[in-house]
Amino acid sequence: MMSTTDQIKTMNSGTISNLEDLTIVWLDITIDNSSIIWSKRQNLLRSCINYIRTFTDESECLKYISAIRDERIFIITSGSMGEIIVPQIHDLLQISHIYIFCSDIAKHTQWSKLFRKIRGVFNEESTLMICLESDTKIYLSTLMPINISSSNERSLQDIDEEQVAFLWFQLMIEVIYRLPQTPTSKREMVNECRTHYIDNPVQLRMIDEFYNKYTANMAIDWYTKDCFLYRLLNKAFRTENIDIIFNYHYYLSDLTKQLTKLYLDQFGNKTGTLRVYRGQHMHKDEVIKLQNSIGRLISINTFFSTSTSCLVATNFSGNGEGRSQNIESIIFQIEIDLSIRRRPFGKIDQFSSNKDENEILFAMGSIFRIESVELFTDDIWLIILTLTNEVKKEVEDLLAYFTKHIGAQPSLLELGVLLSKTGDYQRAKQFYLRLQNELLENDYDLGVLYNNLGEIYRKQSDLDTAMKYYKLAIDELTESPFGFIDRWFGIVHSNIAMIYDTRGQFDQALIHYRCALHIIERDDDDSEGELYSTIYNGMAAIFQQKYELKTALKLYEKVLKIELSVLPSSHPSIAITYNNIGQLYFKMEENLKALENFLKARSIMLSTLPNNHPDLAFLYASIGAIYIIQNQVSKAIEHLLEAEQIIDRSTLTADHSLREDIYRTLIIVLSKSQMIDFSIRAHLKLIDMFKVRTPPVENEIAFWTSRLGRLFSNQGNYQQAFEYQQIALDTIQKLPRTQENKELYLIIIDNILQTRHFDIALEHYRRLLNEEADTRSQFAGKLHNNLGVVYDYMENDLLALKHYREALFCYDNLPDTFVNQLSIIHYNIAVILNNLADYEGSRSSLYKTLNILSDHDYELRSKCHCLLGEIYEKSSNWMYARKHFFKAIEFATQANSHPQFIAKCTRHLEQVITKIEENDSTELESTK
């Protein structure tokens, strides 16, 4: 007989997470875990609730309770400590019941009446246990996991989000049910149970019995026992925890097979109707939710029991005994049309440990329509349901498509693929790595596994590791019986092409795409349409990046034609293609066509992808960008906020590169809008993401912190701006002086200059200039120019002039590259020379500026002509002054310059015209 109880006893049960729904927390300063009395007390408590945590300190207890999310807590506390902690925890959702255990009942009864969750004040273990057992039984019957479908809860489009979650959960469960059963999988399941029930001798004996005596035809019998299996599975299904459900695949496979056989034997060829009942407790809020959902569908994500006897159901409903705790008694009346095929169910009396309940067990994932919710008696609600197989057509088509591809005997490969499709890359990787340890050397699946691992790392932007696994895949596949014509060679080459595409090595990427095409074209399998579409999609993306946009569009259209002919109309791949076409039109500035394709992609993604999928976040950001261009501000905000919320609730790790990509995308899009607060939030999230990486990415932190400071500067909040620029400055100074870091250092100083801290900017410009080895480099030229700007602000004309001329000297050999910068420097020199009354020198610099200035730089042209007009005005050259003021006004109008500047030029022009008229009048008088 196998028993590892003694070995497990050495573990610390406090470090084991709770796999059940309920937790007992006992708070008492007198607790002594080593005492025999306390040990016996814990064993007694575990007959109701297995998981127990003890505390002697209120703050530690409160910290633990506050961190709980997926369990409900039954707290037992001494009277004196209860007075302190109960007011702090009473209204927390995770607190179900509170029990006061003390020696002085009279003292603590009075204050405890103020709190409805307190079930009583006890001084004897026996009375406490009676109440605890009753409450536990009632509460456990409320935990049937029900998802209510709704088509009205999304603001952007009517869509049944619950059915999307149902789709992927059902597919993953289908894979888990069909996984091969091995002695290893049984042993792993049992060890998991032992670990959880480490201090529960009753359950440990049951686990030993299961390991030694269980056979496949006993699956239903074990499920109907009130023991470890029932409780652990219910929690796993209720929380949809794939990791835990996977641990029980050995047993779940048997349970599903046995129930399916019963269904076929008992109801396979029958017509007519069947009525069954289920009695249970339910929170009042849930009853109201069902009452407001008449006509909608509910899916029940666990195995659940019913009875053909209404009397049995009534007994389980509790006859209203929990109403004082906002818990209602419920009877479900379920109508079944036996002619409709659906999830299996069966009469299980002959197999059940409960022989007298006329029990019918339904498989996980059964779907019902809510017909009515009414009070049946003063104390009992009657909820009438109809069993149905009704789901949205696109969900049904995808279920059929993916179920076919899963096959009759899937492995962890298929489970990993599904997790990857939902965007849960980290969990997919965990299952792949587990499979890697299980596969034998030269197993054909190794090649497929290495490819899939490469895909996960590629999607996580770890391109080097991805390439390593792709090469391992090729090595393994070379040894396969199919050799180089194996379709998986085509898939691997296509994936390698994507890496080269990401790296910007487009020609190399196209070589691998064409190699993939050559391989799959030799295979006559009609099912390769999805692979063809992947390859053509990748090739189109490359031509798009090479700005061969017409070629890219033809390939995307070819992809779409293939996909619409071989895939279900709601397949996520079709959505990706619509999105890609939308991105292409966006690049071509055909925004209406871009939006049209984005909306088609959104329609499919909302119907088939979980609401936390990263692809959805990118799509919403793209739609938001279109609406910004169209000046539809409210729609833009709606979509950008949705993009942010999707990525925030995704399963991606806090430092995942896809989070980085979406926050960068949001910031770029928001930079074209006036949504400053939103942009600030996106900057902060991006900065936090770089901080949690190991090690922190200091240069990115410095860059985005400085960018954040500029946002505050643009708002005129120079104090807040300077605080962020100071953080960025402190960060960048710690880093090595690479050219990239020097450029970033310079940007940060420029931004500090914008906050008007001239002394700090001056100090750091000088420091960088002193560190620059090549005194005539482009970088030195930038520093001299910026020093000129600082001295200009400080009205130190001579030093400003000196540094502007040094900058010109550095840029002397680079007129084409720095033509815009050169024109600005010449203009700044002209302004200084004008201040110094060197009008000839100023005029010369202004003409140099105009000679090299872009024809379309209307702003600077208007400033140059205005200053020339002023110089000619000072020398009484009225005709030239008029000419330049006219041009200044003309260019200022084209540049949409500030009205004050245009008014200034107009005023000068009027003065000059007056002078000209006066001169003309004087000349006329002198000729008479």
Over residues 277-303, the mean pLDDT reads 86
pLDDT of residue 923: 57
pLDDT in tens, 321-331: 656 567 788 99
Over residues 740-753, the mean pLDDT reads 94
pLDDT of residue 10: 30
The span from the CA of 636 to the CA of 630, in Å, is 9
> Which amino acid type is present at position 474?
I
pLDDT at residue 648 above 90? no
The span from the CA of 236 to the CA of 251, in Å, is 14
Residue corresponding to tokens 């088939």? 608
Q: How confident is the model at residue 826 (pLDDT cuts 50, 70, 90)?
A: very high
The span from the CA of 830 to the CA of 807, in Å, is 15
- Write the CB contacts of 387 (distance below 8 Å, at least 6 apart in sequence): 334, 335, 336, 337, 340, 342, 366, 367, 368
Contact of 620 with 606, CB cutoff 8 Å:
no
Q: Helix-strand-coil percent breakdown of the chain, rounded to 5?
A: 65, 10, 25
pLDDT at residue 90 above 50? yes
Contact of 18 with 236, CB cutoff 8 Å:
no
pLDDT in tens, 25-62: 999 998 876 677 788 888 888 888 888 999 999 999 99
Helix residue ranges per DSSP H, 546-632:
549-566, 572-587, 591-608, 614-629
Report which DSSP code applies to 18: P
pLDDT in tens, 559-570: 999 999 988 888
Number of residues written out for the chain? 928
HSE value, Cβ hemisphere, 13 Å, CA-based, for 669:
31
pLDDT at residue 699 above 90? yes
> Which amino acid type is present at position 111?
W
pLDDT at residue 189 above 70? yes
Mean pLDDT of the chain: 86
pLDDT of residue 149: 53
Q: How many CB atoms are located within 10 Å of the residue 379 CB?
A: 14
Q: Which two tokens stand for residue 806?
A: 């040094």
Q: Which domains does the chain have, with CATH numbers?
A: 22-142 (3.40.50.2300), 144-168+179-391 (3.90.176.10), 765-927 (1.25.40.10)
Please choose, from the candidates 383, 405, 297, the residue with its C-alpha nearest in 3D space to the C-alpha of residue 342.
297
Q: How confident is the model at residue 925 (pLDDT cuts 50, 70, 90)?
A: low
The span from the CA of 272 to the CA of 264, in Å, is 15
Strand ranges across the sheet with 327-337: 146-148, 297-300, 366-375, 380-388, 327-337, 273-283, 304-307, 359-362, 345-347
Q: How confident is the model at residue 486 (pLDDT cuts 50, 70, 90)?
A: low
Instruction: Give CA angle at 465 (464, 469), nearest 5°.
Output: 120
Contact of 583 with 594, CB cutoff 8 Å:
yes
pLDDT of residue 145: 60
pLDDT of residue 152: 33
Contact of 757 with 722, CB cutoff 8 Å:
yes
Measure Cα distances from 145 to 148, 301, 465, 650 in Å: 10, 6, 40, 22
Residues of the chain with pLDDT > 70, as a percent, come to: 91
Contact of 20 with 71, CB cutoff 8 Å:
yes
Which phi and psi angles does 366 have, rounded to 5°?
-65, 145
Report which DSSP code applies to 440: P
pLDDT of residue 592: 96
Helix residue ranges per DSSP H, 179-299:
183-196, 201-213, 219-223, 228-238, 242-247, 249-267, 284-291
Higher pLDDT, 131 or 181: 131
Measure Cα distances from 712 to 282, 705, 764, 869 in Å: 52, 11, 21, 37
Over residues 438-459, the mean pLDDT reads 86
Over residues 54-74, the mean pLDDT reads 91
Over residues 295-316, the mean pLDDT reads 87
Which phi and psi angles does 746 have, rounded to 5°?
-65, -45
pLDDT at residue 206 above 90? yes
The span from the CA of 506 to the CA of 593, in Å, is 27
pLDDT of residue 523: 64
Q: How many CB atoms are located within 10 Å of the residue 406 CB?
A: 18
Residue 271: alpha-carbon gap to chain centroid: 47
Q: How confident is the model at residue 766 (pLDDT cuts 50, 70, 90)?
A: very high
Q: How far apart are the first and last CA of the chain?
A: 136
The least confident of 199-203, 526-530, 595-599, 633-637 is 526-530
HSE value, Cβ hemisphere, 13 Å, CA-based, for 39:
5
pLDDT of residue 9: 34
pLDDT of residue 560: 94
The span from the CA of 656 to the CA of 170, in Å, is 27
Q: Which two tokens stand for residue 752?
A: 């500090």
Over residues 396-408, the mean pLDDT reads 73
pLDDT of residue 909: 93
pLDDT of residue 222: 93
Over residues 309-318, the mean pLDDT reads 87
Please choose, from the candidates 785, 754, 753, 757, the residue with its C-alpha nearest in 3D space to the C-alpha of residue 769.
785
Q: How confident is the model at residue 445 (pLDDT cuts 50, 70, 90)?
A: confident
Over residues 717-738, the mean pLDDT reads 94
Peptide bond between residue 695 and the one before it cis (omega within 30 degrees of 0) = yes
Exposed, middle or buried, 652 (CB in 10 Å: 0-12/13-18/19+)?
A: buried
List b or e across 276-290, with b for residues whose CB sees 16 or more CB atoms inside 10 angstroms: bbbbbbbbeebbeeb
The span from the CA of 99 to the CA of 118, in Å, is 6
Over residues 356-363, the mean pLDDT reads 88
The span from the CA of 673 to the CA of 749, in Å, is 26
Over residues 104-116, the mean pLDDT reads 91
Question: Hey, what's the torsion of the CAs at 505, 511, 515, 516, to 10 degrees?
Answer: 40
Contact of 786 with 828, CB cutoff 8 Å:
no
Q: Which two tokens stand for residue 158?
A: 């009517």
pLDDT at residue 11 above 50? no
Please choose, from the candidates 503, 505, 504, 495, the residue with its C-alpha nearest in 3D space to the C-alpha of residue 537.
495
Residues of the chain with pLDDT > 90, as a percent, come to: 50
pLDDT at residue 704 above 90? yes
The span from the CA of 478 to the CA of 495, in Å, is 17
Contact of 108 with 82, CB cutoff 8 Å:
yes
Residue corresponding to tokens 């479908």? 149
Q: For the chain, what is the largest distance between any 2 Cα atoms, rounded to a whole number of angstroms?
A: 136
Over residues 465-485, the mean pLDDT reads 81
Which phi and psi angles does 97 have, rounded to 5°?
-140, 150
Please choose, from the candidates 179, 484, 141, 449, the residue with its C-alpha nearest in 3D space to the C-alpha of residue 321.
141
Higher pLDDT, 399 or 243: 243
pLDDT at residue 13 above 60? no
pLDDT of residue 471: 94
